[in-house]
Amino acid sequence: MSAAGPSQGAKAPRGGSAAHEVASVGAHITRRDLLQTGTLVLLLGRAQLASGASIVAVRVWPAEDYSRVTLESDRELKAKQTLIGTPPRLAVDIEGIDLNPELKELVAKVRPDDPNIAGIRVGQYAPKVVRMVIDLKQAIKPQVFTLHPVAAYQYRLVFDLYPVQAPDPLAALIAERLRLKEGGNETAPPPAPAATGPKAGADPLGDLIAQHAQKGSGPGAAPVLPPRGTGQTDRLIIIALDPGHGGEDPGATGPRGTREKDVVLRLAHRLRDRINATRVNGHTLHAFLTRDGDYFVPLHVRVQKARHVQADLFVSIHADAFFTPRPQGASVFALSHGGASSSAARWMAAKENKADLIGGVNVKSKDQQVARALLDMSTSAQIKDSLKLGGTLLQEIGRVGKLHRGRVEQAGFAVLKAPDIPSVLVEAAFISNPDEEAKLNSEAYQEQLADALMRGIEGYFAKNPPLARSRVV
Ligand SMILES: [Zn+2]
């Protein structure tokens, strides 16, 4: 259905020289191409059309983790890039294209608050060669890769610009925790004098937070956390909230154009605020978002981030879609050991697992291969706890909205694979159902849903008190 079918993808030479590629692209103008670009053929004549690709869209996705620049084109692009140190910038020569209005739009698409990109310049460097210079705000490790047509996209040439000094999610969490404490909107736990009590070491994360607090007390005078209470009463419980999709991957889209990635982020923010204002049995709760912005986070990175902050729970938030408008109601999923609990669950997992294809990951990156292999560990205990968590969530959601199924379903969701964190995926409603799309957009229903999820999390901890931290990340 997409403009360029798989036959063209297969034709694109992988390791071939640029010259060979340009030649082969030129030789393979099909009748379909001519039909699709009929007007252009009349205006330009065949010679120009045959000479290369056209940029159809450009996108910039800024985020702390990394900033992405995407060039979408009707044919595969060939690019050579050079990283230049001072001032830091990435110079890219893209072969086989002319500067066009779409490409020029890039310049204006860089936001002043982009953490990584200072600006982008483009120019016609030579006939059929466009030079793009990305001016950087800091030292960057770029990943440049091509994605073949998928979903609504044609070919994509992707520049992922990772800061050499990668942001540390744990440091961010600690900073936020301290900010909340400073705000004083939380009753401080009773201070305990002994830092060397018998419980010392039982809460490595708590220790780390205390260390950071002391280290950070420079000129900025970061507040020092009150000492930990007696082990049982002052244990920070971290709930990883995982808003699905983001950036290049919009997720499902409702009949009125609501995008899954937007509504689930809003819902995650509401739940975050509730979590951060809640204590369970004297324990402080704190929410950690795997994605807090409109950019794509690969599935295994979401899991990695949650493990890095030693999350106690992982709640992935989504909104279903189906081909027909009828299906409705919320569902909750856990990981399965073997097969899925139903064909619908298997279908849903396959659909959600496609996020990486649409969002776009560099499959050749070594880091990602290693990380993925690490997640294929035993998960029996995790699944047991996840089913308990899913059960309480489902029960609470059922009080405020319809349920698609009355029990927690199971399937092989990639994002639920943290072997040591109870993990569930909540499909809050069917965004493809017009009534539910409207509800997802309504502030009142978002509030109700966030309340329900909060009660579910509290209910889980009431029956399954958190254990002392003993995990090693
Ligand atoms: Zn989704």
**What pLDDT band is residue 176 in, cutting at 50, 70 and 90?**
confident
Asked if 268 contacts 317 with a C-beta cutoff of 8 angstroms, the reply is yes
- The whole-number average pLDDT for the span 34-42 is 38
Partners of 334 in the β-ladder: 410
- Alpha carbon distance 435, 187 (integer Å): 41
Q: Which residues surround ligand 1, an ion (CB under 5 A)?
A: 244, 251, 318
CATH code reported for the domain at 235-463: 3.40.630.40
pLDDT of residue 91: 97
Q: How many beta carbons lie within 10 A of that of residue 199, not counting itself?
A: 18
Domain with CATH 3.40.630.40 in the chain: 235-463
Burial 63-84 (b: 16+ CB within 10 A, else e): bebbbbbbbbbbbbbbbeeeee
Residue-level pLDDT at 302: 96
Model pLDDT for residues 379-419, shown as the tens digit of each residue: 889 999 999 999 999 999 999 999 998 999 999 999 999 99
- Binned at pLDDT 50, 70 and 90, residue 172 comes out as confident
The pLDDT, as a whole number, for residue 332 is 97
| pLDDT score of 422 | 96
Work out the average pLDDT over 425-453: 96
pLDDT in tens, 320-360: 888 889 999 999 999 998 789 999 999 999 999 999 999 99
204-215 helix and 169-183 helix, angle to the nearest 10 degrees: 70
Residues 48-54, mean pLDDT to the nearest whole number: 62
Q: How confident is the model at residue 375 (pLDDT cuts 50, 70, 90)?
A: low
Determine the pLDDT at residue 219.
Answer: 36
Q: Is the confidence at residue 15, as pLDDT, over 90?
A: no
The angle at the Cα of 288, spanning 285 to 291, to the nearest 5 degrees, equals: 160
Gap from CA of 359 to ligand 1 centroid (Å): 12
CA distances from 12 to 8, 37, 302, 450 (A): 6, 20, 32, 47
Percent of the chain with pLDDT over 90: 64
Which tens digit of pLDDT belongs to each residue from 271-307? 999 999 999 988 899 999 999 999 999 999 999 999 9
For the chain, first and last CA: distance in Å? 44
166 C-alpha vs ligand 1 centroid, how far in Å? Answer: 27
Q: Which tops the pLDDT comparison, 11 or 77?
A: 77
The first and second tokens of residue 74, run together, are: 């009707």
Alpha carbon of 333 to ligand 1 centroid (Å): 12
Q: State the architecture of 6-163 in CATH terms.
A: Sandwich (2.60)
151: CA distance to ligand 1 center in Å? 14
Are 182 and 321 contacting, i.e. CB atoms less than 8 angstroms apart?
no
How far, in Å, from the CA of 422 to the mean position of ligand 1? 19
Rounded to the nearest angstrom, the distance between the alpha carbon of 73 and the centre of ligand 1 is 26
Instruction: Indicate the residue type of 383.
Output: I
pTM of the predicted protein model:
0.80
Tell me the CA–centroid distance for residue 169 and ligand 1, in Å. 23
Contact 335, 416 (CB under 8 A): yes
pLDDT of residue 423 exceeding 80, the answer is: yes
Dist. CA 431 → ligand 1 center (Å): 10
| C-alpha triplet 254, 258, 261: angle, nearest 5° | 105
Q: How far is CA 325 from CA 4, 63, 128, 173, 436, in A?
A: 28, 34, 47, 40, 10
* 320 CA to centre of ligand 1 in angstroms: 6
Residue 317 forms beta bridges with which residues? 243, 426
CATH 2.60.40.3500 segments of the chain:
6-163
Does residue 470 contact residue 202 with C-beta atoms inside 8 Å? yes
More confident residue, 207 or 421: 421
Ligand 1 centre to CA of 245 (Å) is 6
Centre of ligand 1 to C-alpha 296, Å, is: 12
Q: How far is the CA of 45 from the centre of ligand 1 (A)?
A: 44
